[in-house]
Structures are given as C-alpha cells and as structure tokens.
A and B are shown apart, each in its own frame.
Chain A
Amino acid sequence: MDPSARMAGNDRAAADVVVIGAGTAGLVAAIRLSQGGLRVRVVAAGHGCLVLAPGVIDVLGYAPERVADPARALAPFVAAHPDHPYARVGPDGLDRALAWFRETVAPLGYVGALRHNRLLLTALGGLRPSCLVPQTMAAGDLSQGGPVLVVGFHGLRDFSPALVAANLCAVVPAPGTGVAARAATLEWPGPSGDGRPLTLARRLEDRSLRAAVGRDLRTVLGDEPRVGMPAVLGVDRWQEVWEEMQLVAGRPIFEIPLVPPSIPGLRLFDLLRRVLRAAGGRLQVGAPVTGVRHRNGRVEAVTVARTPREQVIDTRWVVLATGGVGGGGLQVDPDGTVREPTLGLPVHGVPVPGHPRVLPDPFASHPLDRAGLAVDEAWRPVDRSGRVVALNLHAAGAALTGCEPWREKSGEGISIATGYLAASAILEEAG
C-alpha cells in the first residue's frame, strides 16, 4: 500500500518530543522535558521495569569490589571503562541529575548522598550497596553494624526472617563490625492469604487489620534499636502504614526489598506518572512503536500501534529509552546478532562471531552483557564510524553500551543521569 494512503487512515497527533519507553530513563526524560515547557508523549509497549526494581537508587555498588563512596570511585571507574555511560555523564552530570531527581520525587523522601553507599539488607540477609533510598528504607543503613530485629509474616513466601537474620549475623559490614540480628514472625493479617507481598501490602492498608499486626509486633519487640520488615508496608497509603508501625514499635522501621513485583518500585512508578501528568506530559502504555518516518536526517513522525488503528505522532525530537535485553530494547538472534528492534539502530559492543557470548560461570561478566547503543555528546545514537543516525534522535537508559547495571549496581544512576542529560540536550536545542 502507498504509505501516504495508509497514513491517511491513521489517527494523527503532534508532540514536541516522543519518548519511547516508560522505565526510569524514559519517565525521567519525559518529566524533565515537560517541566521545560515541551509537549511530551511517552509511548510504551508495556509498563516498564520499575515494578521489577527495588525502588532504591543504585549509582555504583561494585567496581568490582564494593564501593563505599561512589563520588570518589567514579573517576577511576570511568578510566577503566571508557565506554561506560558514566564516562559521558561525568561527576557533575550525575550530581545534578540526582539532585533534580530527589526534588522531583520529594513525596517519597529519598535520602542519601553520592559520597556514601548505604549497605542495605537483602531479602536473603546479605548486604547490598545502594546510594539513595526512599524514606521507608532510610533507617536500614547497616554499614556501621548494630543490632537489628528482622520481622516477617507467616506465609509470606518471599521473605524468610530466620534465614535473613542468620545470614545477617554472619556478615561483616566493615572491619571490626557485625550485626546482631534476631528473627520474629507475625501472623498474616486477616483471612489466610495467598502469600503474595502485594496482597499483604493491601491488607496492611486496612486500619483494623493493621491494628492486629501492631499488637502482634509489640509482643516480639526487644532491645534492638531498629526493625527491618519486608517491603510490604502499604502501596498507595504507605506513609500512613509505615508511620503507624513505627509508632507502635517506638523505633525506626526500615523496609527490605523483595523479588518482583516490587512494592517500592510500584510506589515510585505511580509517583513518576503523577509528576509527569502534573507537568503536562502524556503517557500511552500498550502502544508499541511500529515505525518512524525520516526526512532530511531527522525523525519526523513516530507510528504506534493502537486499537482500532495506528496513530502517527508528528514530533520534533525522539528519546529512545526502551531498555536493554531484559526490557526488550535489545534483541539477540540465535546467530548472535544484536538488534535494536524499535528503530533498527546500530548496536555496539557485540561479541565477534565465533567468540562466546556468555561464559560457563553464571556469576561472571559475560561478553554479551555490554552490548548496546553508543551515543555522541548530545546522547544521540551513532553508527560504527561515529556518525549520528538522526539529528533529533536521543537515547537513554539500559539500552546504552558499556554497562552491566545489575552487576555494577548502577542501574538507576545510569537511567536517571542519561534520561536527565538527554532531556537537557533537547531543552538546550529548543532554547
């Protein structure tokens, strides 16, 4: 069919910027662009990866030894990894992006500083470095050790307080320190449950069920100055739940992130969506991009699948934030070819044919893990010879080459900084 004829049957819309992808990078870019006065549409195939993430802001946790001070570790880290997104972000860019982010998500009360990695308790009882954490995890920095009461719920399938406490007693946060941990288990509130964290979090939003949990909690308290609980303290009404439980306990309570779906991740996703809407941006989920129209080296329009027919969005800029392999932003073929499926962009850092893509040790750094998009100083994807693919196309987040966020514990830092800076580049051009 003649493309123009097909266009004629489509819905049309217009935006200053189309952001593709509703994960951290996409939402950060979209909010910043909306705040800068541009008309923004976020189009996304799905709900993004925020609900998978623990809701903490990792900046740099391992390099490959545990990092105590990300601000100081950054320079040697990028010197060793010149292709890493942080090499382009720079310390100043990271600082500005994180400061902006904290202000943007102020209702969640993120605390922390780039100069200090907190050591957070994992749902297995290990310690995991992270940089900024929401208010509900603020009391959970165990880098100085100290006694902790670990409280779980009978039947909550993703959290075993006994194993957490046992492991916690064996960790050494810093030389000469340790954690004395004790486990306690509360009754599942209300009628017997399905063991899911989300079910429990909703139950805790019910005042009378929560009161019963509070009574139960009082009976297990000891001398420990703080209490760790699984991250199930309310979904929308988390503040009320968390504060009331602290009042009951008479001491700080910190949440411990669980495997997905993550409730702190959900809270952050909800807040970012609200902030975007308040700033005038629009979000279309379930709208995968089916094509783009180029003219004179620029992307002129983006087509998305919609029921009952496609929608064409005319735009001045595009931000691609579709994620890495996990998010679907990169695809790998059986022969080892790595593709960027949305716009067909060139992918860098792909292992040469005939060389292993993954190694026999699951914990190793695999050759395939660093494949992704390479960008210029304005965060625009470039081809193998370094030429910009399209003048008004920018990229951010896990799709970028040179990083292994889950191993480095750098995911949110990369997504926030690159989303923020890609947006800044566009705002600068827009004047």
Chain B
Amino acid sequence: MMKAVETDLLVIGGGATGAGVAWDAASRGLQVVLADRGDLATGTTGRFHGLLHSGARYAVKDPRSARECAAENRILRAVAADCIEDTGGLFVSTPADDAAYADGFVAACQQAGVAATEVPVTEVLRAEPHLCPGITRAFAVPDATIDAWKTVWACARAAAAHGAAILPYQEVVRLMVEGDAVCGAVLRHARSGEEITVRARYVVNAAGAWAGRVARLAGCDVAVVAGKGVMVAMNHRLVNAVVNRCAMPGDGDILVPVRTVSVIGTTDARVEDPDRVQASADEVRAMLAAGESFIPGFTQHRALRVWAGVRPLFAATSPTSAETRDLSRGHTVIDHAAREGVGRFITIAGGKFTTFRLMAEETVDAVCADLGVRAECRTAAETLPDSEERHYYWIGARQAQAEARPVDDPLVCECELVSRQDLLVAAARRPGLDLDDLRRALRLGMGPCQGGFCMARATGLLHEAGHLDRAAANAALRDFVEERWRGIQALAWGDQLRQMRLDAWILLGVLDLEHLPE
C-alpha cells in the first residue's frame, strides 16, 4: 500500500518562492507539505548571483519591480538578517557609459522610493581601489548580498517549526484531480523510488522555470520562458560593495561580493530546456571582458567557477524572440480555476529572489481567500531562525567561529572554515544527504581548491559516522568530482588550471579515485 499523507496545502518547488509560501502558509496556521524533486534551492534560487536588490537596477525600466524590491529589501533585512551581508551597493558611470543616463536614473530611483545618493568619485575609489579610476559618477544604494541556501533553509525550518513537512528529493509524478479541482499529488523519491500520495485541499505550483511542466500535469498551460543567466565567481572579493554599471541593464554589468569571492553576472538568453543549461567558453570570455569595463585587469584575476541559472520569466503571450531581457521580472499569481476551470490550484509565475516573500504573501492570500481561511500574513514581522538577533552576517564570521572552536575540532575544509563538528552536525540534521547537499549547507568545497583537499576527508568522516556506506561513499566522491568539474571545465587556463591540475594530482594521482572499487 502506498504511503499517504493528508494536508491543507501542498507546495511544489523548494526554491525561495516555494519555501516562502510554505513558511507563510504554515505561519498562518495551514498544514503544509513542501516538496522538491531535488534538494531545496537547487534550481534558479541556488544558481543566482546572491544580490539582494535595492530596486535601483529596475528603477528606469520597470518601476513596479523597483518599488517591490525596495520594500522587500527593507523587510528581509529585518526578518532574515543572518542571511544577509550588508555590503551596500554602488552604481557607477564608467567612461563607456552615457553620463546623461545617471540623471534619469536618480530621478527614477526617487520615484520608486529607492534611496540613491551621489557619492564623490574620489571617495568611492578609496573604498573600492579595484574600480576603474575613470568613473565619472557614483551613487550609493542599499543593495546587499544574500545567501540563497541559508535563506531557503531558514524559511523551511520556520515552516517546519509551524508544523510543515519538508520533503526534498520528492518529485511530483502525477497531480490528482477530482471533479474540477486538484486534490493532491503522487510523489516519488529521487533515490529510493518509493512513492507517496499527498492528499491536499490546495496545491501551489512554485516550480519556477519548471512551472509549465507541473501545470501540464493538471492539464493547464503556463507559458514560462526560461532565460539563461551566466555567472562567474572570481577567486577574490574584488569589491566591497555590490557594483552595478549605471546604464541600461546589459550582460556582465553587476559584480557582487559574496563571502570570500565575487560573482560577475549576468547574461540573458532564452533556452528551451531549463534542465540543459551550460555556460559556454565564449560566454565566460564575454563576461570576463565585460568586467574589464569597470574593474581594469579583470581578466587577469583568477576565475574560480562558472554556472548558469534560469530565470522563470512569465509571458502572458508566448514570446518567440531569443531576447528575454525585455520580459518583465515581475510575478503573477495564476488562479487556474478562473483561467482553465481547474480549481484549488495556483501557479506563482515569474518573479525574482528579492521579492520571494511578497510573492509568497500574495499567493497564500489567494489560497486563504479560496479556502475561506481568515489569517493575516505574518512573514513581514516574524524573524527567521538564526536571525532573531537581527545581526547581519559579516565576512569575518566564520573566522571568529573557527577561533572560538576547541582545538580538537579540526578543519575539514580550510577554504570555507568548515570543521569536523560542523560537518557531523549538518549531516545528523538531515539524514541521507550527500556531499553536494553538504556543499550547499556548509559551503564545503566551494573555496579556491574546489574540493581537492576536503572532499576525501569529508567522505571518510561521513562513512565513519554511518551516514554513507562504503559504496555510497565512493559514489558520492565521484559524483562530487563530476559536479565540480561542470563548473570549472570552461575555466581551464591560468591559475585556475593550475589548481585543477593540483586537484587531479591529489584525487587521480595520489588517491587514484578513478580505480576505487565500485
């Protein structure tokens, strides 16, 4: 007999939006099940640049998005402080940019309620010594950086504290429809293949770029266009604040300092299949060349890793153009009862990370209205776990933790300062997780060595602690090498190639990983 659970609300998709919906609905008293086909935050959410928008980037082109971002930025700073580093942001006019754009930009920011203050260029260059000395104007905005994995898991933990069930690695294989309404789904575990039935009074499709596929399971049509964005992590924090070019948004015009690295982004190109996105070597070169326009010598710095994410762009009418930058970054709550006569089923389409909480609020408002539940949204005031003290994350936090640790808790990952105890606690918190899940949970293997030194250590520890049996340990290690390779193979030059060779020397040479028994 297939295992069955009953719930008020089934949320499909464990990105920021889905986790936000789960948190919001659970805090209003609904019983919630959140399911994702993989680990949480592994789709678009886990593959963005980490920028918490102030709204300034959208001020000229999309004032509504700008206003939403400005408001959500303030709210998230209050409720998710532990996930945020308050780097501040800058918009700079480089010699290549039209200086007149800046005036329109300031006016648009003012209109949208985004605080943009002009800062003397000399002052900016003192704070950001890598920045192009030829910049003509600079504006400070309240951009910040936000850790997507931490945020999503904080939402999930908050939801769980309100009684929600969080089910990663559960793929929806079927939506159940009774009469003219959706009444649940059959989920299949990605690893065990075991199926369970979730009977739900309501289903929210928060599958982002994959929302069209999920909607089709109920016979509905959602025209989501996947817009590919390429990002490259550089091996240093080249800037202290988020730096944007003060120009119409284009490719490679944002540089985001994230922990010990900085991420340059991004591109925008339509892709057919969100599961098949890869950054090409040409795109990487173009991105690095774009970096030169505001950081002279950018191409000489070591590129650490490249990846591509897919924006879930929603078009009321299906666009055919390859250009997706002009599609709105806004979001839409689609009530399938009104549109196609399929009840108890909502798709939340489009949107962006910064506004995930607002998207969740609007979605759950609609769900509650439909279910006749009268409950106010609480997520604008309820702090997320670990953010209760409202202290922002800061760059030295892990070092401070490391210094406070007992000496007999050795570091497993020296790049990201992850200790043995950190690893074992994270593994015990989520049984059945693999090295890639741990990477997201702890940033294990995300530093300069990209796992060359720490992965074998981590595997041994997890085996010893009983989390991975022998064969699973070997497979996990191989999978991890393959996963890392995807992100570095387009960067085979300079010091990064030298690092790749050292890792090959260790993993293939000394440890002969290739010939380990299955």
A interface residues (Cβ-Cβ under 8 A, vs B): 52-54, 62, 66, 122-128, 155, 157-160, 162-163, 166-167, 170-172, 188, 191-196, 257-260, 262, 324-326, 328, 331-334, 336, 357-363, 366, 368, 405-407, 409, 411
Contacts and interface: CB of A to CB of B under 8 A. Distances in A.
A191 B504 CA distance: 35
B1 interface: no
Contact of B516 (A124, A155, A357): A124
B498 A128 contact: no
Contacts of B460: 124, 159-160, 162-163
Contacts of B412: 157
Contacts of A331: 494
Given A52-B505, A123-B456, A160-B463, 5 more contacts: A62-B515, A66-B515, A122-B516, A125-B516, A162-B460
A326 B497 CA distance: 8
B502 interface: yes
Contact of B504 (A123, A260, A333, A406): A406
A82 to B, nearest CB: 24
A340 B406 CA distance: 46
A171 B471 CA distance: 12
A257 B473 CA distance: 20
23 contacts: A66-B515, A122-B511, A123-B510, A124-B456, A124-B459, A124-B511, A126-B511, A126-B513, A128-B512, A157-B410, A163-B463, A163-B464, A166-B470, A167-B516, A192-B407, A326-B502, A328-B498, A359-B489, A360-B489, A362-B481, A362-B482, A405-B509, A406-B501
Interface in B423-465: 453, 456-457, 459-461, 463-464
Chain A CB within 10 Å, residue with most, of B411, B482, B497, B510: B510
3 cross-chain pairs, A with B, having the tightest CB-CB distances, nearest first: A195-B410, A160-B460, A192-B408
B509 A166 contact: no
B509 A332 contact: no
A192 B299 CA distance: 44
A325 B498 contact: yes
Contacts of B389: none
A325 B53 CA distance: 40
B285 interface: yes
B456 A259 contact: yes
A334 B306 CA distance: 14
Nearest to B506: A259
A259 B510 CA distance: 7
A194 B420 CA distance: 11
Contacts of B510: 53-54, 122-123, 257-260, 262
Given A122-B511, A160-B463, A406-B508, A167 B474 contact: yes
A171 B517 contact: yes
B492 interface: yes
Contacts of A188: 408
Contacts of A172: 517
Nearest to B478: A363
Contacts of B167: none
B394 interface: no
Contact of B411 (A166, A195, A328, A334): A195
Contact of B508 (A52, A358, A359, A407): A407
A123 B513 CA distance: 10
Nearest to B491: A334
A406 B452 CA distance: 14
A322 to B, nearest CB: 13
A194 B511 contact: no
B362 to A, nearest CB: 41
Contacts of A122: 510-512, 516
B473 A406 contact: no
Contacts of A196: 410
A334 B299 contact: yes
Contacts of A166: 463, 469-470
B493 interface: yes
A326 B505 contact: yes
A280 to B, nearest CB: 32
Contacts of B513: 124, 126
A52 B459 CA distance: 21
B474 A155 contact: no
Contacts of A260: 453, 506, 510
Contacts of A195: 410-411, 420
A172 B517 CA distance: 9
B288 interface: yes
A179 to B, nearest CB: 11
A259 B504 CA distance: 12
Contacts of B514: 363
Chain A CB within 10 Å, residue with most, of B288, B412, B470, B518: B470
B101 interface: no
A87 to B, nearest CB: 22
A166 B508 CA distance: 20
A196 B515 CA distance: 26
A407 B460 CA distance: 23
A149 B2 CA distance: 46
Contacts of B484: 362
A332 B494 contact: yes
Interface string B280-318: 000001001000000000010000000000000000000
Nearest to A192: B408
B167 to A, nearest CB: 30
A196 B412 CA distance: 10
B509 A409 contact: yes
A325 B470 contact: no
Given A166-B463, A167-B474, A334-B285, A193 B515 contact: no
B517 A334 contact: no
A52 B449 CA distance: 14
Contacts of A158: 456-457
Contacts of A362: 481-482, 484-485, 489, 504
Contacts of B288: 334
A66 B510 CA distance: 15
B515 A127 contact: yes
B459 to A, nearest CB: 7
Contact of A155 (B408, B463, B469, B489): B408
Contacts of A170: 470, 517-518
A159 B410 CA distance: 13
A182 to B, nearest CB: 14
A163 B464 CA distance: 7
Contacts of B477: 124
Contacts of A357: 492
Nearest to A172: B517
Contacts of B453: 259-260
A124 B456 CA distance: 8
A212 B240 CA distance: 51
A74 to B, nearest CB: 20
A141 to B, nearest CB: 15
A126 B502 contact: no
Given A52-B505, A334-B299, A128 B411 contact: no
B509 to A, nearest CB: 4
A162 B469 CA distance: 10
A68 B88 CA distance: 61
B505 to A, nearest CB: 5
A347 to B, nearest CB: 14
Interface in B175-213: none
B276 to A, nearest CB: 13
Nearest to B477: A124
A125 B477 CA distance: 13
B289 to A, nearest CB: 9
A306 to B, nearest CB: 24
Contact of B512 (A126, A162, A366, A368): A126
A406 B505 contact: yes
A170 B505 CA distance: 24
A125 B515 CA distance: 10
Chain B CB within 10 Å, residue with most, of A62, A66, A363: A363
A336 B516 contact: no
A124 B411 CA distance: 19
Chain B CB within 10 Å, residue with most, of A122, A124, A188, A195: A124
